[in-house]
Homo-oligomer: A and B are copies of this chain.
């Protein structure tokens, strides 16, 4: 296996589109050097970084947040054991919190299935009325588990 990877290789090996690799690079999440003919060549650490990116997204972490985490890594180097432990611990905790929220919701759904929900006054979910509200903008439903949950405007 060669020392460096082309975008295409990175893309196929990490399971993202070439355009996404370009995109991550533009966003500063990964880095490349160039050949004499201006083509990107990636060190193998990029696979790890892309894996981190995809995983973080799976956890509901935005690219901006991933970027901030990755910035603290030695650039161009494979993240160290400690780097990785720090990130993964933080993200695991975040994930755990989110799981707890979702489990609570699932529990409420369970009781709601039984309650018939024709009586607005008894249903724990429908009487949340505006407890479920307070949206963030856009599609990021995921993220609402940090500190700023449930602060009404």
Contact = CB atoms under 8 A, between A and B. Distances in A.
Interface stretch (A29-37, A48-56, A67-75): A48-56
Contacts of A57: 135, 141
Interface of A: 12-17, 20, 44, 47-48, 51, 54-55, 57-60, 78-81, 84-85, 88-89, 91-92, 95-96, 98-99, 102-103, 105-106, 109-110, 112-113, 116-118, 120, 125-126, 128-135, 138-142, 144, 152
A103 B135 CA distance: 25
Nearest to A132: B54
B81 A118 contact: yes
Contact of A51 (B60, B129, B144): B129
Copies of this chain, whole number? 2
Contacts of A140: 139
A92 B116 CA distance: 15
B84 A117 contact: yes
A133 B16 contact: yes
B106 A102 contact: no
Nearest to A138: B139
A48 B132 CA distance: 12
Given A15-B132, A106-B99, A116-B81, A126 B54 contact: no
Nearest to A134: B15
Nearest to A47: B129
